[in-house]
Every structure is written in C-alpha cells, then in structure tokens.
Structure 1
Amino acid sequence: MNLWQFMHNICKKIKNTMNLKIPEISFEGIVARHPEAIAALHDAAHDWGLFYLEDTGIPATLPAQILSMSDRFFQLPPELKQQLSLNARNDFRGYVALGEELTNGQPDMKESLEFAREEERPEDAKPQAFDQLYGCNPWPKESWIPGFRSVLERYMNEIQVLGQQLMAALIDSLAIDSVHHDSQWQHPLHFRTRLIHYCQVSNLAKGCIRIAEHTDLALFNLLRIHAPGLEAKHLSGNWFEVNPHPNTLVVILGELCQSWTQGYYRAGIHRVRQATEDGERTSMPFFFYPNLQTTLPTINSNKPLETGNKYAGELLLQRLVGVHPHPEEV
C-alpha cells in the first residue's frame, strides 16, 4: 500500500465516523414488527448497544411531572431523605447520598432514590440468598411531597409494559426460533429504577467525568434524560453525545443482553461528563432483568437453546453488593 492509498483509507474512516449518529427507532414500528424498524433495531443493538426510542405513547406530561417530583424530593432536608436510607435496608431500595455508590470502584458524584418492582418470592421457589431483593418500596411521606407515589407508580406501570414489549422485539430481531425464548420470559421482567440527581460540584470543571466509563448488568436500560452529559461509545471506539430528545427514551443494552446473544448484541458502553458549569442534572433510568428466578439462557446459532446455571437474582445481588458497599467500606 502506497502513501496515497494509506491516507485515502484514513480519510475514508474519518468521514465514515463523522457520518455516524445514534440510531433513532420508532417504538410503534417495532411493536407492529415493521421490517425496517426490526432491521434498525438489529443493527443498533449490534453496532451501538444503544439507541433512541421514539413514539413510545407515554403521555408527554408525565415525564415533566416526574422531573418536578424528583426536584422536590432532592430539595428535602438531608435528615428527611436519610429516613429512607438504602443502607438501613437489605433490599437495595431507598435513598443513596452523594458518594455512597461506586462505579468501577470510584464514588459517584450523585444522589439517588432507588426503587424496584414490588413483588413477593414465589411460594414454590426454593430459598435463595437473593430473596432479599423481593419486597416493597420505601416511599416519602405524602405530607412531604403530595402525589409523589401516585405519579411514580403510574410512570413505572407505563415503562414496565413498554419494557416487556421491547424484550419481545429484541427476540424477534434475532430471527431465531422464539418458542423456547418465550417460555424464558413468560413472567414479567424484574426492573429496578432510580431517580438520580447530579448535584452541583464546585471543584469539578466542565468536561470532567462524573460517572466513569462502564456497562450495565441489565438486559437493557430505558432512560429519559433532561440535560446533556451522557456519552456513548460506538463499535468504532469513538464517543458520541447522547442528548435529550422530546418524548424520547434512550435504550442502553446491558451485559445480560450481550451474554444472552453471545456477544452479538453489545452492552452499551457509556459515561457521564460534567456538561455545564454547575453540573446539575436529573435522570430516571429503568434497568430491566429477567425474572429473578430465571436461569439465564444463551443463544448459539449452531446449537439448541442452552440454560445457564445461575439465577438472574444471583447475578443482580452480586452487582448490587459491588455498587452499594457498606458506608464504612467507601
């Protein structure tokens, strides 16, 4: 290869990278199984592990209510928020103060209020260490923020239905026999969600990393963002800004999706930067997992469905212990 060819190839790669943009996929299209939408879902999951999900049908006023409720909660006095402390429980639900959660071993510069799907351990299930993940959510008192619980539960119900439909579309997008897979997802997916407040941090300059580069454990994360700061890594290795879009969710595939497809669909690599001078930002991600009692399946195009030997709840508990250490361990 001569110098001219070498430079031509470099310029071609740069041009291709410049033309890249995070995919935008219609939820209505994938629910209706339009071939173009399913193909777009397939390509986005393979190349990015992340995409924008449009036309979700969630009422436009509901996210605004969530944002307002979230702001009111995080403005409460610390002594009230600490009454809901996650560290006082064993189900990993509740309030997490600034610096109490770890990403890649580093304290996060954010506070959060953590929830999960409210459910009881199935009566016929054998006792497991992850049984502690079942239970009910801790809610702020109605007198603190009137209407908080009703608005949050309404939004959770909307997202839970959407997540189940997205899982079915991901199965279809792989163009495999879905009979066995349908049985694996016949129970409602487990989800965990959080209100996140990226507080003002005066000693962090604009552009600094607030949450380190990482992937999520979940099958996928449905995230609504209200301000810039989130960045995603493409298969090429280049980073792209993930910006707020009206009435749109960001979908980030996780490690369980990558494992389930034996690496064909990617866990979306992402991070959070200080995008503004004060760095204040709010988001609400929904992390979806298989039912906690599910033993995790894998896909191999040359072999029938194989079943793993670990429960989804077991893997989830392991990850939660890693990101929520006991306070004196931080």
Structure 2
Amino acid sequence: MLPVISLPDLDTAAGRSRLARVSSEVGFFHLVDHGVPDSAIDRIRDAARAFFALPDADKQAIAMVNSPHFRGYNQLGGELTNGSVDRREQIDIGPERQPLPDARGPMRLQGPNQWPAALPELREAVAAYDTELARVSRDLLSRWAVALGASADTFTESFALPATLIKLIRYPARTDDRAVDDQGVGAHKDSGVLTILLLENDSRGLQVERADGTWIDAPAVEGAFIVNIGEMLEVATDGYLKATRHRVLTAPHAPERLSIPYFFAPSLDAVIPTIGAPDGAQAPGITADPANPLFATYGENTWKSRTRAHPDVYRRWYPDEAFAAH
C-alpha cells in the first residue's frame, strides 16, 4: 500500500516533513483532499471513454505519426518502452500552441494538438481538467520546495510556459490464459517533474519498484490520485529525491482499464533549479545510467523519452537530426 498524503496537511511543517520523507523513500503516494471537483474528474473520464468508443477510422484520422509534435492517437501496440511494445491505446495531448519557427531538437515538441472531429467535447474536457491539475501540481511543487529548505516560489520561473502532457489511455481486457506478453507499459521513469495519475476505483496493474529491485502493487484508492516524482525533480534535488521506476502489467483475464496520467513539466527550454537536500541530509547525486542519461533542461529530457517511445514519428519528421537519444 502506498502512503497517503492529504494536500491541506502540507500547509504544516509536520506535513511537509512527511512529504519529503515519503518522496525520498518511496517516490509514490496517494494524494487525497486535493480539491479537484468530481465533475471535472467525471467529465474527463466520460470524454476518454467516448474517445476510445469512436470508430477506428476517426481515431486513425489523428494518428500521432501525422504530428511532428508527438501529439495524437496511438493504436494498440503503437508505443514502445525499453524497445518493447506496450499493450495499450492512447491519445497524447499537450499545450495548444503554435510551432516555433526554425525550431531544432526539443523545441520542435511545441505545437498544436490533433483533435477528433467526431468528439468536439474532448477539447473542453481536457482544458477544464488541465486547469484543476495544474493548480494541484503547483501547490505540490511549492510545498516540496519549502520541505527541502527552499523558498515556495523556487520553481515558478521554470513553469512560465509549462510543457505539460496529458495521456488518455485504455488497457484492453485480456481473455487469454497465457502468462506472457503482459506488458501494459514497461518499466520506466517519468521524464517530467511530477505525475498525477487518475485511475478507475477498481483499477489494478500498476507496480512500483522498491529500492531492493522487487515490485509492489499500487492499486487505486477511491477519491485519491497517485502522485510520483519525475526525473526533473531528481535533478533538482541532486538525487535526494529519486524518480522511481514503475510499470503496468495486464495479467491474463484482466478487465479493460482506463488510465489518465497528467505529466506536469516546466517550459521546454527551462533549466530546472537545483535545491539539494534538507539540512542534515545527504544528496547522493542523480542516477548514473548510460542507457538513460538525465538532463537539467526539460526539453532535452523529454525529447529523449518521446523519440525513444515513438521512433516512427521521429523517422518521418526528423531525418535531418541525429538520433542522439539512443
């Protein structure tokens, strides 16, 4: 069972101290009393279900491979983690902005979304949800900063133009008995600062890696979001807070599941500020993994992640750039 943290409790010194401890030891927790209205949650869930119920032709009309900004729909098996196929379908949605002229590398991620013509209400549902989750994310970041001995506005400048990513994900049901091919999404760390995950109340399959390399189940809790640290918060704290690897398994006979992760991230060109560890604690440095280098600039970090996950998009739109992410 993951720790449970109440957002209002983080207004107290004891609550912030617990946040720092939980974040450094586990990196995942259930967030309750977050203030997001049920209406906003119901609306985004309903819109997600309506999207996945669309005819395949409507979804394929906004296939991600048509977007140089890595936005749009991926059919079942359309995304990779660690080179292996994830068993899910999804739509990726980012901030609605104009492309930057003459952009190179990570700055090419800025641009418009692809929206399904058959479901105009999706855009409004996403916008309303983004407003609520951005508020919660900023509240969490300010309290994390204070818990680590920095000022509450430490991260404000970095988030002047957030490069947030929202995914609507459907894990299809399994009817087979095979104990193989159960990768819903492979083991990975998130490339942003923090992730706020909305699951259905009976959802299972998410697992979190312990420090000893074993895995624990992280089922949904009614009324709670699941929050985890991304790689940029590990960079910001010089490794005091570690981005935790996690995965999703789709076991034999698992029911269909809906998942909506909200990846709160700074501006693409923002260099995340370093605030270190709280007084008396040791910051061990960021994870040294040649296969997954961590970058202080968010755009570089997410460019690594996006190009690895969607090589078809990369090959189509960026033949002029060396695939340095590999």
Identify the TM-score tier after normalising by the shorter chain: 0.7 to 0.9
CA apart distance, 1:206: 6.7
CA apart distance, 1:81: 0.3
Picking from 1, 5, 18, the partner of 1:40 is 18
Whichever residue aligns with residue 209 of structure 2, its letter is: K
Aligned-residue identity in percent: 26
**Aligned 8 A contact 1:195 1:285 in 2:** yes
| Cα gap change, 1:88 to 1:127, in 2 (>3 Å) | closer
Counterpart for residue 138 of structure 2: 164
Counterpart for residue 114 of structure 2: 138
Counterpart for residue 71 of structure 1: 49
Deviates more, 1:104-113 or 1:71-80: 71-80
Quote the Cα distance in structure 2 between the aligned partners of 1:162 and 1:37: 16
Quote the Cα distance in structure 2 between the aligned partners of 1:113 and 1:294: 25
**Aligned 8 A contact 1:204 1:274 in 2:** no
Counterpart for residue 173 of structure 2: 200
Quote the Cα distance in structure 2 between the aligned partners of 1:186 and 1:272: 29
Query: In the alignment, does 2:121 pair up with 1:147?
Result: yes
SS in 2 for 1:256: helix
**Aligned 8 A contact 1:164 1:188 in 2:** no
Counterpart for residue 9 of structure 2: 29
**Aligned 8 A contact 1:206 1:277 in 2:** no
Counterpart for residue 271 of structure 2: 295
Quote the Cα distance in structure 1 between the aligned partners of 2:3 and 2:199: 16
- RMSD of aligned Cα (Å): 2.7
Counterpart for residue 306 of structure 2: 320
Offset from partner CA, 1:192-237 (integer Å, 9 cap, x none): 0110001234446479342222211111111011111111123344
Quote the Cα distance in structure 1 between the aligned partners of 2:245 and 2:107: 30
**Aligned 8 A contact 2:62 2:72 in 1:** yes
Counterpart for residue 233 of structure 1: 209
Whichever residue aligns with residue 216 of structure 2, its letter is: F
Picking from 263, 285, 291, the partner of 2:239 is 263
Query: In the alignment, does 2:170 pair up with 1:190?
Result: no
Offset from partner CA, 1:163-219 (integer Å, 9 cap, x none): 12211111111113567x346435143210110001234446479342222211111
- TM-score under structure 2 normalisation? 0.82
Whichever residue aligns with residue 43 of structure 2, its letter is: Q
Whichever residue aligns with residue 242 of structure 1, its letter is: A
Counterpart for residue 176 of structure 1: 150
Larger Rg: 1
**Aligned 8 A contact 2:183 2:249 in 1:** yes
Quote the Cα distance in structure 2 between the aligned partners of 1:310 and 1:46: 19
Deviates more, 1:182-191 or 1:154-163: 182-191
Quote the Cα distance in structure 2 between the aligned partners of 1:56 and 1:29: 11
Counterpart for residue 192 of structure 2: 218
More strand as a share of residues: 1
Whichever residue aligns with residue 139 of structure 1, its letter is: W
Query: In the alignment, does 2:64 pair up with 1:86?
Result: yes
**Aligned 8 A contact 1:100 1:327 in 2:** no
Whichever residue aligns with residue 137 of structure 1, its letter is: N
Quote the Cα distance in structure 1 between the aligned partners of 2:113 and 2:90: 14
CA apart distance, 1:51: 0.6
Quote the Cα distance in structure 2 between the aligned partners of 1:211 and 1:45: 23
**Aligned 8 A contact 1:296 1:309 in 2:** no
Quote the Cα distance in structure 1 between the aligned partners of 2:211 and 2:238: 16
Whichever residue aligns with residue 87 of structure 1, its letter is: V
Picking from 286, 299, 322, the partner of 2:262 is 286
Offset from partner CA, 1:64-99 (integer Å, 9 cap, x none): 222222112112111110111110110011001111
Quote the Cα distance in structure 1 between the aligned partners of 2:295 and 2:63: 33
Give the unaligned 5+ runs of structure 1.
Answer: 1-20, 303-307
Give the unaligned 5+ runs of structure 2.
Answer: 280-293, 316-326
- TM-score under structure 1 normalisation? 0.81
CA apart distance, 1:299: 3.8
SS in 2 for 1:68: helix
| Cα gap change, 1:325 to 1:157, in 2 (>3 Å) | same
More helix as a share of residues: 1
Picking from 221, 229, 233, the partner of 1:245 is 221
Picking from 19, 27, 43, the partner of 1:49 is 27
SS in 1 for 2:303: helix
